Amino acid sequence: MEAKESYDIIVAGAGMAGNLAAAIAAKKGHSVLLLDRNDPENVGRKNNWGWTCGDAVAGSHLDFITAKTGISFSKPELDVKVDGVYALSPDLEAKYLFDGVGYVLDRPEFERKLRDIAVKSGVHYVTNFEVEGPVIEDNKVAGIFGKDKDKNHTIYKSKVVIDALGISTVLRRRLPDNKFVEKNVDIDDIESTGRYIIEFELDHEDERYYDPKNALIHLNQEMAPGGYGWVFPKSGNKMNIGLGVQKRSLDIRNKALNRNDTLQSLIDQYIAWNPVIKKEYKLFTKDNNGKGIWSVAVRRQMESLVYDGYMGAGDSMVMPNPISAGGIGPALVSGILAGENAAKAVEANDTSVKGLWQYNVDFNKEYGYKTAGLEVFRIYMQSLNNDVLNYGIKNFLNVKEANQLALGMMPELSLSTKFSMVLKGAKNISAFRELLYAVNKMKELNAIYSQYPESPDAFEAWRKRVEKSMHEAKERFKPNPI
Ligand SMILES: Cc1cc2nc3c(=O)[nH]c(=O)nc-3n(C[C@H](O)[C@H](O)[C@H](O)COP(=O)(O)OP(=O)(O)OC[C@H]3O[C@@H](n4cnc5c(N)ncnc54)[C@H](O)[C@@H]3O)c2cc1C
């Protein structure tokens, strides 16, 4: 079948990553096609439920966008500013500041703003288009195929395709077998998540359950096995409330408690558990975005984000932060870096893995260097039950150390520096030893990532080191929610 048109760059998916990638590449003067299955009003909508997300993003990520592009954000796309993100222990007796100033977005508004920027930059934006797979020529990606708004089979060709289709991408999964980009993601590295945006009346004030100035994360292996629950404030008596679970942890927890809970039943129990929400809450239905379920990957991003004629940005490359599942920041950052590097590769007339490699280096430097370490910390946390979490959050780390860990920096911990800490109970002593192991593993992986290969030739040997180190951590820590 003949290609309908040919472009320098095709960006598949007009979400957080795709809109920015397309805008940046078009601003550099290249012909850019941006494809998305939604109509313009619903740009970036993930699925039939809506823009399923907690919508919290760190201020530092938005600052990065502004510094790089001059784009600034305000109301209405920034719905509410929060001073920080707090993680609470299961018994709610202790909390750690997990992240600093951030925003809870009006997500549809935010995506429409990015869409307008892309269109103004000269992007050819085609809506209601279902991408079905990559066009492969000589084992390289040479375009995409799919169905247009009238369900006609259509091919578009390009020098490079940027995959910004999110977690359900049909492009990465249909790449030729290759040694750079993995096609599959282990189910243990995926969180099933869901949330409501609700309008509610406050029964009484209690900042452990709802804090209009801060985002709250509830760690609790019975309520959210292998994941966590969240309560993020929104403007005017609204909140984004939801929960994520790891399937394996949920199965173990259900078996141990002789329960049959699903993600949906856990979300409903979580809302019912929250005593500050009066029972008569209702869904906030603006943009038909009040309720939804979707998946988030919580592992390090794909070790290589590029293949011949192909780059990936955002969730398609499993970029969300492994401990917070925050994927908006890395999607925005990678979108910009992918757009810049695609443009450079087209100018240099080399869109092979080698020609696109600088994108890997740039993303690693900006964000990716810490995610393998954070993946280890996530696996460690999933191995702790509520009793150990309650004890550990109070006794293992001071606030500064916990904050460093959450940001991917390694605090200096040792049994001797913790001599003042009274470790009670065999389980807790063992959990603290395991924490030391996890922190050392995190250091090891951070060191490996600080040597991210400058060219593809050194990639295979480097990747083997990552896999070996990660395999050891995964053998050590097993899900143990109850
Ligand atoms: C319940 C939940 C809560 C979350 N909470 C947070 C949070 O609070 N903070 C945070 O930072 N992150 C959060 N995340 C993660 C965050 O939502 C994602 O990381 C982010 O949306 C990734 O952006 P993206 O552009 O890569 O992909 P997406 O937002 O998924 O955009 C992909 C786009 O591609 C389109 N598309 C997909 N397939 C096709 C196809 N075949 N053909 C045509 N178009 C297609 C989609 O419709 C969409 O428009 C959460 C995720 C979930 C599920």
Same domain for 112 and 207, yes or no, is no
Stretch among 7-16, 221-230, 417-426 having the lowest mean pLDDT? 417-426
Q: Does 155 score more than 50 pLDDT?
A: yes
> Does pLDDT of 421 surpass 70?
no
282 & 351 share domain: no
Distance of CA 235 to the CA centre of its chain: 24
* Residues 282 and 380 placed together within one structural domain of the fold: no
- The pLDDT of residue 411 is 67
Distance separating alpha carbons of residues 330 and 293, to the nearest angstrom = 21
Q: Give whole-number Cα distances, 198 to 46, 117, 160, 236, 239, in Å.
A: 19, 30, 41, 11, 6
Q: What DSSP string describes 456-482?
A: GGGHHHHHHHHHHHHHHHHHH------
- On whether both 111 and 145 belong to a single domain, the answer is yes
Q: Is residue 272 part of a domain?
A: yes
Q: Quick one: CA dihedral 212, 261, 91, 205, positive or negative?
A: positive
Determine the pLDDT at residue 203.
Answer: 97
Per-residue pLDDT reduced to its tens digit, 62-99? 999 999 999 999 999 999 999 999 999 999 999 988 88
As a whole-number percent, the residues of the chain with pLDDT over 90 amount to: 87
In a domain, 95, yes or no: no
Region 165-190 average pLDDT: 97
Pair (320, 456) in one structural domain: no
pTM here is 0.96
Is 26 contained in some domain?
yes
pLDDT of 332: 97
* Domain count along the chain: 3
The answer to whether residue 233 scores a pLDDT higher than 50 is yes
Within a domain: 90: no
CA distance 232 to 190: 22
Residue 173 and residue 26 share a domain: yes
- Cα 311 to ligand 1 centre (Å): 17
Which residues line ligand 1 at a C-beta cut-off of 6 Å? 13-18, 35-38, 44-46, 52-57, 129-131, 164-166, 168, 170, 193-195, 242, 294, 296, 314-315, 320, 325-329, 331
For residue 334, the ligand 1 atom closest to its alpha carbon is: 26
| Cα(294) to centroid(ligand 1), Å | 9
The answer on 253 and 170 residing in a single domain is: no
The arithmetic mean of pLDDT across residues 148-160, rounded, is 97
Nearest alpha carbon, ligand 1 atom 53: 294
Q: How far is the CA of 415 from the centre of ligand 1 (A)?
A: 41
Is 306 found in the same domain as 265? no
Pocket test for ligand 1, best of 34, 41, 46, 234 (most atoms within 8 A of CB): 46
Domain-embedded: residue 333: yes
Residue 419: predicted pLDDT? 47
Quick check: 42 pLDDT over 50?
A: yes
Q: What is the pLDDT of residues 285-339, one digit of tens each?
A: 999 999 999 999 999 999 999 999 999 999 999 999 999 999 999 999 999 999 9
Question: Is 353 within the bounds of a domain?
Answer: yes
Q: What is the mean pLDDT of residues 422-437?
A: 77
* Residue owning the nearest CA to atom 41 of ligand 1: 131
**Of the residues 297, 327, 354, the one at which a domain ends:** 297
Domain stop point among 333, 366, 399:
366
> Structural domain of residue 450, as residue ranges?
371-476
Cβ neighbours of 175 (radius 10 Å): 23
- Pick from 220, 232, 210, 458: which is nearest to 357 by CA? 458
Distance 165 CA to ligand 1 centre (A): 8
- Residue 273's CATH number: 3.30.9.10
Residue at 457 is within a domain: yes
50 band by pLDDT with thresholds 50, 70 and 90: very high
Q: Domain check: are 377 and 356 in the same one?
A: no
Both 228 and 288 in one domain: the answer is yes
Residue 473 reports pLDDT greater than 60: yes
Mean pLDDT taken over the chain = 94
pLDDT at 425 over 80: no
CATH number for the domain that contains residue 329: 3.50.50.60
Please report whether residue 84 resides in a domain. no
Same domain, 406 and 280: no
Is residue 341 located within the same domain as residue 326? yes
- Among 351, 366, 381, give the residue marking a domain's end: 366
363-387 residue pLDDT tens: 999 999 999 999 999 999 999 999 9
CA of 425 to the centre of ligand 1 (A): 43
| Closest C-alpha to ligand 1, atom 22 | 315
